[in-house]
Amino acid sequence: MSAKYIFVTGGVVSSLGKGLAAASIGCLLESRGLKINLMKFDPYLNVDPGTMSPFQHGEVFVTDDGAETDLDLGHYERFTHAHLSRENNLTTGRIYEQIITKERRGDYLGKTVQVIPHVTNEIKNAMRKVASHGADVVIVEIGGTVGDIESLPFLEAIRQMRQELGRENTVFVHVTLVPWIAAAQELKTKPTQHTVKELLSIGIQADILLCRTDRALPNEMKSKIAGFCNVEERAVVTARDVKSIYECPLAFAEEGVDDLALKYLHIDAPARKMEAWKEIVHRAYNPKDTVHIGIVGKYVEYEDSYKSLKEALVHAALAHNLKLQVTWIEAEGLEEKIPGDRSYEAQLTGFDGILVPGGFGKRGVEGMLNAIRYAREQKVPYFGICLGMQTACIEFARNVCGLKAANSSEFDPAAEHRIIYKLRELLGVEEMGGTMRLGAWDCVLTPGSLAEKAYGKTEISERHRHRYEFNREYEALLTGGGLRLTGTTPDSTYVEIVEIPDHPFFLGCQFHPEFKSKPLEPHPIFRDFVAASYKNRLAHGVAVAEAQTTTVQ
């Protein structure tokens, strides 16, 4: 059977949750035995999100093949078992780059190159390429909002796909907004009517409407929307706000979204099996206790900068039936530059665990070093990712091994002791991203280490996104001081994991484990970090209780 397609578009405003909607539909169809693949088209002219500001675009999600992609691909992988690659995320910039390369090569045989048919053909070919890997259904999300000029080529391409494949092989799902107007004390359907009309003006009739709202849609309102928008009444779906995003597939199942999609695609499939998701949601709403993690980062003003990181912590907390409480700490605020500033120790007191995530550039690094020193000396569970591993090595070199001038050549190219440096540049290695190490790399773990105990094996593969590496010239000095290098590439060139043995939990990894965590399959290191943090919470609670008892006596 050739693959069928579900196209997900959005109207009225951005950030309505198209990515989560696509992922949730994929989750439901996968639970019914179908093989799913997903892809995202982004209308901006950047070739990929790799050079975009985290403050504006959020995190860059990295796939096994080293593609720097949109954060929605993280939702796709967390909600399904689809194996994604650079084929699953294309931007206007990359599409135009491909077309211009072909034109310069003479592939168009001197023809005038135009949006229709050349750009739309390129978009359709990309969809067919993803579909060719054996999927039963390909879910395609179109970024942006209907009515934006930059989205028009993508909308035209999916309009053509319906013409070419027929109604029984394509479904249009439109995510829209039904706002509650407080002054009038009523829900308003007009924004939905207008965006469906806008979609219809370019030749696309929506089949299913996912109406984002903060309350249930009354049946008479669903009937009104169905009448004005030319869809079945049961195809007007209440996409109500939920406390946990992992409730979304269950909410869609209750509204019968998957049943509708299968009906329109003429697919017979077994009943859905969502017991594991129900258990996860039950845990999310019925935790036995709370675990409090402090995240010391560069981009904390915009949580989407650390989307996968936050979700990986949520997955780990759910595995232990705990509620995750996160405090975002601006690293620069821990530097104590201004006299009278609250000390970094006071700002870090009370966390069950401390995590320093990845980042680029020297801003806030001294604050990260202070946080790491506090975690190491106060025996607070510590987890460092990418930059968080590099700064852990620098802190150890400075404050344990006595190398006060220890640094990274990223922060000080003339540093006397370059504990972290751009090894790949010295080796003359050039690949995607220049000297960037991207995508999946194998790693060998030391038996008996925290990492090996977490994974339960000695050979793993994890995803990377960085330029700078641990300098093995300082290995003897740091290991002599008590640091352990417990993970390396198979050829021993790159150091992947460092640990401090005489500590409740102190681990830094050069890779980004958050990219491979799923709600039903929490990442092993995150799982064990949260377990250690909760153990610290319980121990701290006992210590406080004993101190209070002593005071009373």
Verify cis geometry, omega within 30 degrees of 0, for the bond prior to 490.
no
For 309-334, b where at least 16 C-beta lie within 10 A, e where not — what string?
A: bbbbbbbbbbbbebbbebebbbbebb
Range in 57-61, 96-100, 164-168, 230-234 the model is least confident about: 57-61
The strand pair at 289-297 and 322-330 is best described as parallel
Residue 385 has pLDDT above 70, yes or no: yes
pTM for the model stands at 0.92
User: Per the residue annotation, which of 118, 315, 466, 512 is the catalytic one?
Assistant: 512
Q: How far apart are CA 387 and CA 389, in angstroms?
A: 5
Q: DSSP code of 15?
A: -
CATH code that applies to domain 287-539? 3.40.50.880
Residue 542 has pLDDT above 70, yes or no: no
Residue 53 has pLDDT above 80, yes or no: no
- Under CATH, what is the fold of the domain 4-278? Rossmann fold (3.40.50)
Per-position DSSP letters for 470-502, written without gaps between them? E-GGGHHHHHHTT-EEEEE-TTS-SEEEEE-SS
- Taking residues 392-399, report their average pLDDT: 96
Residue 544 has pLDDT above 50, yes or no: no
Q: How far apart are CA 359 and CA 297, in angstroms?
A: 8
Question: Residue ranges of the domains in the chain?
Answer: 4-278, 287-539
User: Per the residue annotation, which of 156, 452, 496, 514 is the catalytic one?
Assistant: 514
Higher pLDDT, 531 or 55: 531
pLDDT at 364: 83
User: Per the residue annotation, which of 27, 386, 443, 509 is the catalytic one?
Assistant: 386
Question: Do 4-278 and 287-539 have matching folds?
Answer: yes
Residue-wise pLDDT tens digits, 6-25: 999 999 888 889 999 999 99
The answer to whether residue 503 is catalytic is no
**Six token digits for residue 113:** 């190159």
- Taking residues 288-316, report their average pLDDT: 91
Q: How far apart are CA 310 and CA 287, in angstroms?
A: 17
pLDDT at 401: 96
Give the residue among 257, 144, 152 at the shortest CA–CA distance from 204: 152
Residue-wise pLDDT tens digits, 514-541: 999 999 999 999 999 999 999 999 998 6
The strand pair at 417-421 and 469-470 is best described as antiparallel
- Taking residues 396-405, report their average pLDDT: 95
Helix axes 72-79, 307-319, angle to 10 degrees: 20
CA of 130: how far to CAs of 84, 144, 257, 334, in Å?
A: 9, 21, 23, 46
Range in 72-81, 275-284, 297-306 the model is least confident about: 297-306
Q: DSSP code of 65?
A: T
What band does 303 get if pLDDT is binned at 50, 70 and 90? confident
**Six token digits for residue 79:** 């909600």
The mean pLDDT of the chain is 91
Higher pLDDT, 410 or 173: 173
Residue-wise pLDDT tens digits, 102-129: 999 999 999 999 999 999 999 999 999 9
The answer to whether residue 266 is catalytic is no
The answer to whether residue 512 is catalytic is yes
Chain centroid, CA 454 distance in Å: 22
Higher pLDDT, 266 or 362: 266
CA of 427: how far to CAs of 30, 419, 430, 440, in Å?
A: 44, 17, 9, 20
pLDDT at 423: 65
pLDDT at 545: 41
Higher pLDDT, 331 or 320: 320
